[in-house]
Amino acid sequence: MATPENKQLALQEKDLGNAAYKKKDFETALQHYRTALTHDPTDITFHNNIAAVYFEQREFKKCIEECEKAVEVGRENRADYKLIAKAFTRSGNAYRKLEDYKSAKTYFEKSLSEHRTPEVKSLLSDTEKMIKEMERLAYIDPTKAEEEKEKGNEYFKQGDYSTAVKHYSEAIKRNPDDAKLYSNRAACYTKLAAFDLGLKDCETCCRLDEAFIKGWIRKGKILQVMQKSSEALTAYQKALEIDPNNAEALEGYRACTMAVHADPKEVWKKAMNDPEVQQILKDPAMRVILEQMQNDPKAVQEHLKNPQVASKIQKLLESGIIQIY
């Protein structure tokens, strides 16, 4: 045990070390912290301070070694668990700098077992995400993805859609940026009537490759089955922007156009998503005109003589929100 006088000398050296540390004079800080330890080798704080200097100097392995000494001294002298947790946290941070995320995770967990703080919980969570992402990236292999896709294609042809899904899912893990794989799996989900999953895959497919027409067509077909005609219409429109002569897209577009105009709710929903329609309906003058047209259908002829009003009425007619008989 250090004498009271030695403890006092140690604290004085620590204060000098802290002053140098704040000025980023790390070598001087290190000298004072080491001198503090000679006066009082039982205080974990000095080891923690030395570890902090090594961390700032990017001497991460030395930092970890010093943290281990800090924990050992702390255990032997029944130090405050918060100080032991601090040493474990600094080890975790040093391992992160060394990109050894699994070791970092271990030390953050050790820190939390001593003292739980939101900061360390956040560090652990971030580290676990890094580990997961590294494992995901390490798993990517386009060649194996192609092999799994071919297996999926064979099972799809045989009508074994559940097994095909497994192979397409494995292919996606091996090459998650290949849009066509999501389209293939969406086709399986459609056969299995898992339309929500199929739609999600179509959305991923279209996001990854906006020019892949099959993704838009498949999305349109799923939305049709889900009786979301206005959304399906938008998907087919996207497909037709890529290829205006695509037979499947044209057929789907025509079918959805008829369905949308046959369902007043769908008509209204699609129309209200159009900013131009919204603006027209907010116009007080147009609201008066529409009310007149409702009460007296013949009034429309008079209003159509005004070019500005006529263009607005035409827009509402095209959207299906009004009809003139």
pLDDT 10s digits, 96-120: 999 999 999 999 999 999 999 999 9
Q: Which of 187, 189, 270 is nearest to 235 (CA)?
A: 270
205 inside domain: yes
**Spatial distance between the Cα atoms of 317 and 325, rounded to a whole number of angstroms:** 11
Backbone angles phi, psi at 263, to 5 degrees: -115, 105
- pLDDT category, 84, cuts 50, 70, 90? very high
CATH number at residue 201: 1.25.40.10
253 inside domain: yes
SS3 109: helix
Flag the least confident range among 31-40, 135-144, 170-179, 310-319: 310-319
Flag the least confident range among 20-24, 246-250, 311-315: 311-315
- pLDDT category, 26, cuts 50, 70, 90? very high
Q: Residue 300 pLDDT > 80, yes or no?
A: no
Mean per-residue pLDDT, 129-140? 93
148 inside domain: no
Quote the percentage of the chain above a pLDDT of 90. 72
Q: Which string of DSSP letters, residue by residue, matches 69-107?
A: HHHHHHHHTT--HHHHHHHHHHHHHHHHHTT-HHHHHHH
Residues 239 and 197 in one domain: yes
What's the Rg (C-alpha) of the chain? 34
- pLDDT category, 320, cuts 50, 70, 90? low
Mean per-residue pLDDT, 254-277? 78
Q: Residue 89 pLDDT > 50, yes or no?
A: yes
Mean per-residue pLDDT, 13-25? 95
Q: Which of 156, 148, 217, 157 is nearest to 178 (CA)?
A: 148
50 inside domain: yes
List Cα–Cα distances, 188 to 44, 149, 185, 293, 318, in angstroms: 61, 12, 5, 50, 36
Residues 106 and 46 in one domain: yes
**Spatial distance between the Cα atoms of 125 and 122, rounded to a whole number of angstroms:** 5
186 inside domain: yes
What is the tally of structural domains in the chain? Answer: 3
Of 83, 107, 138, the residue at which a domain comes to its end is: 138
- pLDDT category, 306, cuts 50, 70, 90? confident
Q: Is this prediction's pTM over 0.85? A: no
Q: What integer pLDDT is reported at residue 153 of this predicted model?
A: 97
Q: Residue 297 pLDDT > 70, yes or no?
A: no
Residue 299 belongs to domain spanning: 265-319
Q: Residue 222 pLDDT > 70, yes or no?
A: yes
Residues 283 and 238 in one domain: no
List Cα–Cα distances, 265 to 40, 166, 241, 321, in angstroms: 81, 38, 26, 10
Q: Residue 158 pLDDT > 60, yes or no?
A: yes
